Amino acid sequence: MSGILDLLNSDMGKQLIGNITEKTGINASQATSVVSSGLPAILGAMKDNVTSGDGAAGLLGALNGGKHDGSILDNLGGFFNGGDFSDGSKILGHVLGNKQDTVVNNLSQSSGVDSGIISKILPMLTPIIMGYLGKQTKSNGVSDGAGLGGLLGGLLGGTDGGSSILTSVLDQNGDGKLDISDAMSALSGKKKGGLGGLLGGLFGKK
C-alpha cells in the first residue's frame, strides 16, 4: 500500500483527500483508505461490464460525449465546491448495478468508514475516473470495446485466467468473503503502469 499512499500524498492527491474530508467529515487517513480501495472497485466494475456484458458502447459513448474530457482533473476544487454529484451517482448505479450495496458495505468494512459516507464518496470519485478515462481513450485512439477493455485491463494490471477484475477485487482468495484490502495489494503490485499508473496519472506523478 505504500506506493498508493505515496501517490495520494502528491499535491493533487492531497487536494482530493482534503476535499473529501471537508465534504464528509472523516479524517485524511480514512479518506485515503476509501479512495485507494474505491478506485479499483469502480474500474473493475467498468471492465467487467465492458468485457463480459454489453456496456462497452454505453461507456464509450459517455467518454466520447465531451463531458468527460479530463478537464475535471485541472479543477478538482471547482468540482467539489459545485456540490453536484448526481452524474457520478447515475454512472455508479449503471456500472455497479446490484453490486453497489455489496461494494459499499465491504469498502466500509475494510476502511472502517460508515457505509453512508462511502455512498457519498463513490459518486465523487466516479466523474474523476471518467475524466481520466476520457482523456486516455482520446490520447490512445480507443474506439471500440476491445480497445476499452484493454485500456481498463492495463490500468488494473490485467486479469488471471480471464476472471473478472471486479470479482478479484471483491473476493481475492475465492473464499466467498470480500477482501478488498488483499485485492488492492495484489492489483497494485501486478505491474508498473497498472493501478499505480492510474493513480499517478490522476495525481500528477509518473
- pLDDT tens per residue, range 56-99: 888 998 898 888 988 898 889 999 999 999 999 999 998 998 88
- Count CA atoms closer than 13 A to 82's CA, side-chain side: 13
Distance set, CA 173 to CA 34, 168, 170, 182 (Å): 21, 8, 9, 8
CA 44, CA 152: separation in Å to the nearest integer? 8
In the prediction, which pLDDT does 40 show? 83
Q: Report in angstroms the alpha-carbon separations of 204 from 103, 132, 150, 185, 187.
A: 27, 12, 22, 21, 20
Instruction: State yes or no: pLDDT of 3 exceeds 60.
Output: no
Measured distance CA(5)–CA(18) in Å, rounded: 14
Is the model's pLDDT at 14 over the cut of 90? Answer: no
What's the pTM?
0.77
What residue type is assigned to position 99 of the chain?
A: K
Q: What is the pLDDT of residues 136-183, one digit of tens each?
A: 898 889 989 889 988 888 777 654 333 333 444 344 344 444 344 444
More confident residue, 9 or 193: 9
